[in-house]
Each structure stands twice: as structure tokens, then as C-alpha cells.
Amino acid sequence: MSGHSKWHNIQGRKNAQDAKRGKIFQKLAHDLYVAAKAGGADPEMNASLRLVVDKAKAANMPKDNIQRALDKASGAGGAKFEEVTYEGYGTAGVAVLVEASTDNINRTVSSVRNSFKHFGGSLGTSGSVAFQFDRKGYLVIDREAHPEVDEDSVLEVALEAGADDVQTSDEAFEIYTAPNDFQAVEAALTEAGYELADSEVSMIAQNPMAISDEDREKLDKLVDELEENEDVLAVYTTAED
């Protein structure tokens, strides 16, 4: 199967974001939290978490940062964290979904609301934009980094493990799964010897919308400010990458 390469757009965005060390750690903290919540906070018993921990160590993420993400997922240390999702609109009517984990709802909602206001957006009610996204597992094998990877083999391993779709482009194999099948597909690909350039359960816009460069600049500033919030796990928008 072939189609529009989400990976091509992600690469361009990541190249800009990864210049900021904090962006890398924020993404890793999110992935650590999600993996630990899904399969437990012990890397020896959770293959998905072990992969993320290895990525975090390779990126020189401080041990305290890694442990903080695991503690938040497991509730260690006595703090009670609640998972919350905020929905709103940014510039040009772009839908924005914010996933957070917090021990103080009032603090977090106030901060998120202020971020939307700073850049001409508005915080909406529950359900106001979530219907515009689908939660899916997303895994990538970078073809440019690994030109030897055989397309038929990837298709066979991924689909037999339960993947919903495999999209191919010159840049990458992009594998989509139902959330419940994500870990099985990730494990199957890893065990088959494939190196994953990206793997996560993500909210994917059903109908991405094109926006002007001016609106993109405002939206990027909103996303940046939201992602700098320690309570925020991830930010998704319906803007084209």
C-alpha cells in the first residue's frame, strides 16, 4: 500500500524541534509515561518501555527525568496524578488536542487556557474537537537509513502481527495499528530485526487542513508553549504537517 508520507512531514518538523534539547526530552518523557501506563513501569517486564528507556539513555536524558516519568505513570512517591485531555482551537480554526497528567487540575487548566489566549486561540469543552482525531499506533522504518530493508518482508511481519495498514514511500515504511495491537506489532518488528525510527500511540487528524505560513507561525508558538508545560504529555493539531 502506498500513500502520503506522514514521516516526510514529521522529519522536517523534528529537524527544527530537535535543535532544542528540551523538545527531545519532552517527547521521551511522554513515550516513557505512555509505555509504563500501558505495560507497567518495569522495563524488564515491558518490552515497549525497555525500547523507550534505551532511546532515553542514548539521548543522554538524565536518570532523574526518566524516573520522574515512570513515577508519574505508576503513582510512586505518593503523588496522585490524573490524566486529562483539553480541547480547543488555535489560529485559523485549527483543532488542538492537549493530553496532560497532573496532580493539580486547577493549575493545569489555568496554564493551558492562558496558552491558548496568548496566541488567539480558545479552550473548548470536552468533545468539541476530539472527534476529529483517531487514536492509532504509528511505527516507522526509515528506508533512507536502511535501504536494504525488503518491502514484502515488512508487510508480512507487520500485517501478521495485527497492523491495520502499511504505507510505503521513498522515505519510509509507515505502519498503523489499532492501539491494542501496537505493542504486538512493535515487538514483532523488533524481534524480526527492524530498527524503528519512531514508534508511538498517537492521535492522528482525520482531515488535516492546510494553513498559511503566518498562521503556521502562530500555531507553532502555541504548541511550543503548551509543550513547555511540565504537565503536558502531548499536543496534537489538525493542521497539515
State the pLDDT at residue 51: 83
Q: How far apart are CA 177 and CA 187, in angstroms?
A: 13
State the pLDDT at residue 238: 96
Q: Is it the case that residue 12 has pLDDT exceeding 60? A: no
pLDDT band at 144 (very low <50, low <70, confident <90, very high): confident
Q: Is 53 within a domain?
A: yes
Which residue did the predictor score with more confidence, 85 or 17?
A: 85
- Please provide residue 198's backbone torsions phi and psi, each rounded to the nearest 5 degrees: -160, 145
Q: Which of 142, 136, 138 is nearest to 194 (CA)?
A: 142
Q: Is 155 within a domain?
A: no
State the pLDDT at residue 18: 52
Q: Is 56 within a domain?
A: yes
Q: Is 120 within a domain?
A: no
- Cross-strand bridge partners of residue 15: none
Q: How far apart are CA 74 and CA 80, in angstroms?
A: 9
**Mean of all residue pLDDT scores within the chain:** 87
Domain residues for 18? 6-78
Write the CATH number for 34: 1.10.10.200
Q: How many structural domains is the chain composed of?
A: 1
The neighbour count for residue 125, using CB atoms within 10 Å, is 9
The least confident of 152-156, 183-187, 191-195, 198-202 is 198-202
Q: Is 145 within a domain?
A: no
Q: Is 73 within a domain?
A: yes
In three-state secondary structure terms, 62 is coil
Q: Is 221 within a domain?
A: no
pTM equals: 0.75
Q: Is 173 within a domain?
A: no
In three-state secondary structure terms, 105 is helix
